[in-house]
Chains A and B, each alone.
Chain A
Amino acid sequence: MSVRVFVPGDSTACALGADQVAAALVEQARSRGLYIDLVRNGSRGLFWLEPLIEVETAAGRVAYGPVSVADVAELFDRDLLAGGEHPLALGPTEQIPYLQQQTRVNFARAGVIDPLSIADYRRTGGFAGLDRALALSGQQIVDAIKTSGLRGRGGAAFPAGIKWQTVLDTAADQKYIVCNADEGDSGTFADRLLLEADPLQLVEGMTIAGLAVGATRGYIYVRSEYPRAFAVLRAAIALAREDGYLGPDVCGSGRAFELEARLGAGAYICGEETSLLESLEGRRGLVRAKPPLPAIQGLFGKPTVINNVLTLASVAAILARGADWYRALGCGRSLGTLPMQLAGNIRRGGVVELPFGMSLRALIEDFGGGTASGRPVRAVQVGGPLGAYLSADELDLPLDYEAFAAKRAMLGHGGVVVFDDSVDMAEQARFAMEFCVAESCGKCTPCRIGSVRGVEVIDRIRAGTQRADNLLLLKELCDTMEYGSLCAMGGLTPMPVRSAVEKFPEDFGA
């Protein structure tokens, strides 16, 4: 009898040696005359435990981690295939506190299933949302999304249902669904994990979106830095097409939906929706002025729903389990769950999906276990490279869009990058400007030139040259960038810069 053993095929797990561990497991089993059925699942998102292997026992799946090749022989010596005791044993996977204390909606299947098994996906509730959607009118689907309170998870948090309504209401011979999988923010990897661990959820969500607004074609724009995610997604799309979930006749409904994954080319700005559309059309990723909104004139000038990976994936669960179930999670106007990503100098980094409302401190301390270095937390950047730096005494902030906005910070795509007390915040502020120099599309002068001047001004402040004058100049430059840029690149680069200057003046020579 063969025992199922799971070894993640996820990027981070493989960067930590999962492929070699998988090979060693197969080799050890063979040399001992044992049979294993190796499954390359996605990751559970408990990255500090990777490579985390699981064995399916009579009592359910049990986990071991982090496992290195050197541990494999000893694991077999201790009866790995029966869930034997070992210093790396973590017990039943589902009871690992980090996982047990989460409310997983988007990531319920991550690491559980083989990402490229339609049977696994269906068995765990997959395509139930699509089944339901096929029985509804477009307006009924859009109403369900509105009722759910779902807001865009890419960072801007715009109500998804309102965007969809606009596309539904705009008459056109062709409409599109575009998924923004250009997850460029440092400290974020939830989209990547979803694409690698449960890509069919996105396929299902996008198909539902197509049915809702009357779009027959969809594109997923994946960044080129994610080759593994791109490969898994493409394979998933091919499987879905083979089984009739995509194509000219979705599930025998007589309605068409085609999906294609496209690769970005290393431009951060293409995470901005209009720049992404330009790129998909085959041009430089220059941002477009809005209006016209993409919902009215989007891809190839046609009405387009453009949403983030997690937004579109959430749609599958909302249709399957109901809008009221979804909106009962969360708080205030931030409804549902938000997958937060613990990154940087953190002991237990990974994906933590929770209803909105938990405090940032609980996330960093209870889930994350504090810094990896063991030194005190000094600064936390939430929401990617354009997000504000928070100081250690601001961590009681609840994870809620409005609460963050009130503090002149943003939740963004849910990335949390922790820094210990060795960080130089003037260096971080300088980097924010430097990043904008590298990644500005160049359309708006305040962003293109302002960021270059920003680096120079911060260098002068750090050198102590006319400090007061240069601080004032930096403040005015930030205002110019904020008010004079079309998109969030130039408009929000001031956010990390200002927050660093205001909250950590001692690093700027005060």
Chain B
Amino acid sequence: MDADTVDSRVAGVLDRLRHLPGALLPILHEIQHELGHVPAAAVPAIAAALNLSRAEVHGVISFYHHFRTAPAGEHVVQLCRAEACQAVGARALEAHVKQRLGVEFGATTADGKVTLEPVYCLGNCACGPSVQVDDQLHARVSPQSFDNLLARLGVTS
């Protein structure tokens, strides 16, 4: 996406949402929804629209785990690390997933296919371990069923 497209998409979002009380989070969500991430280049326009400093906007983006400042891989795999999933084998699954993808949390595979992220609870605690792939939640995930998930995404490495 070129710089002009980014600018015009951001301007469009700002036009639609800047009037909301406490508009910053809805704006960041919408930009990330449209562009896949919140580029640093969007910060000055957001700051100007909301009468904030660029530091304030950057501070909010960096505070929340959900917002990313660089594009993610083709797919985002979120692995639950919280207690209810730990009780049914999430730690072993985590080791398997990292080994299988060859990346740590927060990193993207070399082929750009998968970004791996930790998540602390997906609200599926009666049927863990839980994994969310893009917007789809998966329950009772085992190392084997995780590999099947990857295969369906076309990840073969």
A interface residues with partner B (beta carbon < 8 Å) = 11-12, 14-16, 47-48, 50, 183-189, 192, 224-227, 229, 262-268, 279-285, 300, 341-346, 349-350, 372-373, 381, 385, 415, 417-420, 423, 427-428, 431, 435, 438-439, 441
Contacts and interface: CB of A to CB of B under 8 A. Distances in A.
Most A CB contacts (10 A, CB to CB) among B50, B82, B84 go to B84
20 contacts: A11-B124, A11-B137, A15-B136, A186-B82, A186-B85, A189-B124, A225-B119, A225-B121, A225-B132, A227-B135, A229-B123, A264-B66, A265-B28, A265-B65, A265-B66, A266-B66, A283-B56, A349-B125, A418-B87, A435-B120
Contact of A48 (B121, B123, B127): B127
Contacts of B7: none
Nearest to A186: B82
B26 interface: yes
The 7 closest A-B pairs by CB, nearest first: A349-B126, A282-B24, A186-B82, A344-B87, A265-B64, A343-B125, A266-B65
A302 to B, nearest CB: 11
Nearest to B124: A12
A486 B29 CA distance: 29
Contact of A344 (B63, B65, B128): B128
A344 B22 contact: no
Nearest to A11: B137
A267 B65 contact: yes
Contacts of B74: none
Most chain A Cβ neighbours within 10 Å, of B26, B59, B122, B135: B122
B95 interface: no
Given A15-B130, A350-B126, A282 B140 contact: no
Given A186-B121, A265-B28, A300-B21, A346 B126 contact: yes
Residue from B24, B86, B126 having most chain A Cβ neighbours under 10 A:
B126
B146 interface: no
Given A266-B65, A266-B66, A435-B120, A280 B22 contact: yes
Given A262-B26, A415-B125, A343 B84 contact: yes
Contact of A192 (B50, B80, B123): B123
Nearest to A439: B120
Nearest to A279: B25
B23 interface: yes
Nearest to A344: B87
A163 to B, nearest CB: 22
B153 interface: no
Contacts of A385: 82-83, 120
Given A11-B124, A189-B123, A262-B22, 14 more contacts: A11-B137, A15-B138, A186-B82, A186-B121, A189-B124, A224-B29, A268-B120, A279-B25, A285-B63, A341-B125, A344-B83, A344-B86, A373-B88, A431-B86
Given A225-B119, A300-B21, A439-B120, A47 B83 contact: no
Nearest to B57: A282
Interface of B: 21-26, 28-29, 50, 56, 59-60, 63-67, 80, 82-88, 91, 118-128, 130, 132, 135-140
B123 A183 contact: yes
B140 to A, nearest CB: 7
A12 B86 contact: no
A342 B88 CA distance: 13
A6 to B, nearest CB: 19
B59 A284 contact: yes
Contacts of B28: 265
Contacts of B122: 11, 225
A36 to B, nearest CB: 25
A12 B126 contact: yes
A349 B127 contact: yes
Contacts of A415: 84, 125
Nearest to A419: B87
Contacts of B138: 15
Contact of A431 (B80, B83, B84, B139): B83
A15 B139 contact: yes
A345 B88 contact: yes
B47 to A, nearest CB: 12
Nearest to A435: B120
Contact of B120 (A16, A47, A184, A263): A184
Contacts of A428: 83, 86
A265 B25 contact: yes
A424 B120 CA distance: 19
Contacts of B130: 15
Nearest to B126: A349
A187 B92 CA distance: 19
Contact of A263 (B29, B59, B139): B29
